[in-house]
Amino acid sequence: MTARFVPAARSEALPEPQRPNGRGAVSNASGRFERQQREPFDDGWGEADPKPPKLKTTLIKDTSRSIISTNDSPDLSFDKSINPYRGCEHGCIYCYARPSHAFWGYSAGLDFESVLFFKPGAAAQLEKSFRKPGYQPEPIMIGANTDPYQPVERRLRITRSLLELCLKFKHPVNVITKSASIMRDVDLLAELAELGLAKAAVSITTLDRKLCRAMEPRAATPERRFDAVRALSEAGIPVTVMMAPIIPGLTDPEIEPLLERSAKAGAENAHYVLLRLPLEVRDLFVEWLEAERPAAARKIMSLIRQTRSGQDYDSTFHKRGVGEGPIAALIAQRFRAGLIRYGLTAPRRKLRVDLFERPMAEGRQMSLF
C-alpha cells in the first residue's frame, strides 16, 4: 500500500486492513482548504499491513487569546460558549463539528478524532473576561462544539477548572456531554445548581450498544450515560437528555424507548436534533454507512434526503435541526407524544445572573474608597 496526491475531491474509504481500530471515520482525506489531497491506494504489490495501524492521539496547545465564543444563531438557546477542546476523541461519525478541523490544516476524518487542540490556560483566560469592568454575565454553554469530557479531560481537568471558576464568581453555566465522566464534577455542578446557576444535558443517541460502539466508538455506552443522568438528577442538578442526532431509518425507531429510559433515570425534559451533514460530514457518514450498514445505506440516505427537500443537508436556520417534509413531521410528532407520555415536559430552566460577583484577586488590597 502506498499513497498518491490527487486534486481535492470526495475521498475514498481506507482499505479495511488500514483502518485503525476504535475510531469512527474510515478515511482521512486532506482538509477542504488544502490544494492537494493525499489518499492511500493499492499499488498491486500486495504488501498491505496485516493489522490495522495504531493511531495515537496528539495534543496541541491552543494559544488563542479569546476563550468565550459568541453566536447570533436564532435557533440556538445560547449565544456564549466555551470549548476546552477542538477535535474530539469520541469519534462520533456524524459530528457536525468535524469540518472545523480544516481551518487548521487537518482532516475532518481521522485527524479530527486524533489531533486535539486544548486550552491549558482556559480558566485564567476566563477569569480575565469575568474581571473586565463592562462584562455582563449570561449563561455560558460548555461543550457546544466538541465534548468537554473527552478521555483527556481526566488528565488535563480543563473543564473542571472552568466550573471551579464559575462557582467562585457565581456565574451561570450549562454543560452538554455524551460522557459519563461528567459524574466526576457532580460536586461542583451540585453547588452551582443549588444557587440556580447550573444545568446539564446528556446526549444519548441509541440504546443499541453495538450500534453505539460503531457510531460513537470512544464515547460512553448508553448504560453509562443513563447512569450519569441518574447521578446528576439525584444531586439536584437539572438534567436534559438530548437525542442528538436522530438518524432516519437507523435510530428513529428508538425514540419512544429512549424517552422512557430517560424519564426513569430522572431527566426533566428531552430534546432532539435531526442528523446534520454539513460539508465533509456528508462523505464521511456515507463511507461509514457503506462500511457498517451496507444493505441499508441507500435506504437510510434516501430517508435523510426526504427530510431535506431532496438534498443531503439544508443549513437554513430553523430547518437545520428539525428538517422538513412528512418524515421530519412524523419524527417531531412522535417525539412530542413521547415527552407527554413519559412526563418529560418540564419547562426550560432559566439560570440566575444576579448572583455574579468578582472576588478580590489574590495579593490585592481593598480600596479605601
Residue 46 located in a structural domain: yes
Question: Tell me: the pLDDT tens digits for 202-252?
Answer: 999 999 999 999 999 999 999 999 999 999 999 999 999 999 999 999 999
Is the pTM higher than 0.75? The answer reads: yes
Asked whether residue 282 is domain-assigned, the answer is yes
Tell whether 150 is covered by a domain.
Answer: yes
Look at residue 64 in the predicted model and tell me its pLDDT. Answer: 84
Residues of the chain with confidence (pLDDT) below 50: 1-10, 15, 17, 366-369
Strands (E), the chain: 2-7, 36-41, 58-61, 69-70, 80-82, 85-86, 115-118, 140-142, 173-177, 198-203, 239-246, 269-274
310 in a domain, yes or no?
yes
- CA-to-CA distance for 306 and 311, rounded, in angstroms? 8
Range of the domain at 337: 2-341
- What is the three-state SS of 120-171? CCHHHHHHHHHHCCCCCCCCEEECCCCCCCCCCHHHHCHHHHHHHHHHHHCC
Q: What is the domain count for the chain? A: 1
Q: How far apart are CA 130 and CA 125, in angstroms?
A: 9
Q: Residue with C-alpha cell 504488501?
A: 47
CATH of the domain at 277: 3.80.30.30
Q: Is residue 369 part of a domain?
A: no
pLDDT attached to residue 74: 78
What span, in angstroms and rounded, lies between the C-alpha atoms of 176 and 184?
A: 14
The pLDDT assigned to 140 comes to: 96
Whether 206 and 212 have beta carbons less than 8 Å apart is answered as yes
- pLDDT at residue 71, rounded to an integer: 80
Please report the pLDDT score of residue 72 as a whole number.
Answer: 77
Residue 331 within any structural domain of the chain: yes
Residue 356 lies in a domain: no
Task: Examine residue 234 and state whether it is found in any structural domain, yes or no.
Answer: yes
